[in-house]
């Protein structure tokens, strides 16, 4: 809740696995909350708690001081921000925060478009998955103007614990690409290690107990590892969205003439999983290709 505007009216567009929890934290903090989602049923619980349903992103923006978007793909961001019924044509001197993992180039474009319309825009992608969203301890990497970041910080603190201003427009998205690249190679390592353990006839639970407290310990090992052992493929973050992120990262790397062989391999493997019908499973389902999962 901002000290300069403790009763800021907030709009939230995109109520998926993470967005629902993020929006709920803002509502619980006492903000007037306007919401929109393509599937209206996903807003039902929030509306029952006092959120105001809007029929379009533009209607959300028209009645909000701050608008947050958390949608799927860069094309979705472009539509909800720039479409005829979108946010920018209807926002009035608002602070606009896109928390989708999207293209750095698009983030820079939106910042320019927002400034031309008298608004401030931040790109603020997150890491932490559904657990981080539910527990309000997301890592939030923010690109944009420093003054806009200071204005947004009290609101972002309702949803996350590690909140860093990474630089100008687009830098938040670039930082999120770094995050996804580290995850891509790490989850492959987890799957390979567990596949080795299974093939060697080891007790996988014992292996996890032994190695999770050492140098191999990480979120991917300590949280995703037990899910892999149990055969739990429920999504905290869907494969189809991770594949999108890897494609953005590799496109940016190509533009910078940077080779990323680990990311290339991860993209190939996740594309195979999508082809085999696992697009909406969690990223830990990668273990299926290594023989590490049940």
Tell which residue, 208, 227, 216, 241, has the closest CA to residue 285.
227
Q: Quote the CA–CA distance of 171 and 175 in Å, as a whole number.
A: 6
Question: Is-catalytic flag, 176?
Answer: yes
Question: Given the structure tokens 């907030």, which residue do they identify?
Answer: 10
Instruction: Identify the H or E element spanning 6.
Output: none
Query: How far from chain centre, in Å, is Cα 166?
Result: 16
* Residue 32 contacts residue 52 (beta carbons within 8 Å): yes
- Residue pair 224/242 in contact by the 8 Å Cβ criterion: no
SS3 category, 133: helix
The catalytic position among 42, 93, 161, 176 is 176
Helix (H, G, I), strand (E, B) or coil at 279: coil
Q: Where are the alpha helices (DSSP H) in the chain?
A: 19-28, 44-48, 57-62, 74-82, 104-116, 129-134, 146-156, 171-199, 204-211, 219, 225-230, 239-255, 261-275
Catalytic residues: 176
């Amino acid at each position: 809740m901002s000290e300069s505007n403790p009763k800021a009216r907030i709009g939230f567009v995109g109520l998926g696995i993470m967005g629902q929890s993020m929006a709920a934290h803002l509502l619980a903090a006492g903000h007037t909350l306007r919401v929109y989602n393509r599937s209206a049923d996903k807003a039902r619980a929030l509306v029952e708690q006092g959120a105001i349903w809007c029929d379009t992103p533009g209607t959300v923006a028209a009645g909000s001081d701050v608008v947050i978007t958390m949608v799927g793909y860069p094309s979705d961001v472009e539509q909800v921000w720039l479409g005829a019924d979108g946010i920018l044509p209807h926002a009035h001197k608002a602070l606009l925060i896109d928390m989708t993992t999207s293209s750095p180039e698009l983030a820079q474009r939106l910042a320019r478009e927002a400034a031309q319309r008298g608004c401030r825009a931040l790109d603020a992608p997150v890491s932490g998955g559904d657990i981080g969203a539910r527990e309000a301890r997301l890592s939030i990497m923010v690109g944009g103007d420093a003054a806009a970041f200071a204005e947004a910080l009290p609101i972002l603190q309702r949803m996350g614990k590690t909140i860093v201003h990474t630089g100008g427009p687009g830098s938040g998205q670039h930082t999120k690409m770094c995050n996804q690249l580290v995850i891509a190679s790490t989850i492959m390592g987890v799957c390979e290690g567990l596949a080795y353990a299974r093939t060697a006839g080891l007790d996988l639970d014992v292996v996890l107990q032994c190695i999770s407290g050492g140098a191999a310990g990480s979120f991917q090992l300590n949280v995703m590892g037990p899910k892999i052992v149990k055969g739990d493929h429920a999504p905290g973050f869907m494969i189809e969205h991770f594949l999108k992120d890897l494609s953005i990262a590799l496109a940016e790397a190509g533009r910078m003439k940077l080779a990323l062989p680990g990311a290339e391999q991860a993209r190939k493997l996740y594309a195979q999983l999508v082809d085999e019908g696992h697009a909406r499973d969690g990223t830990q389902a990668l273990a299926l290709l290594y023989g590490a999962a049940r």
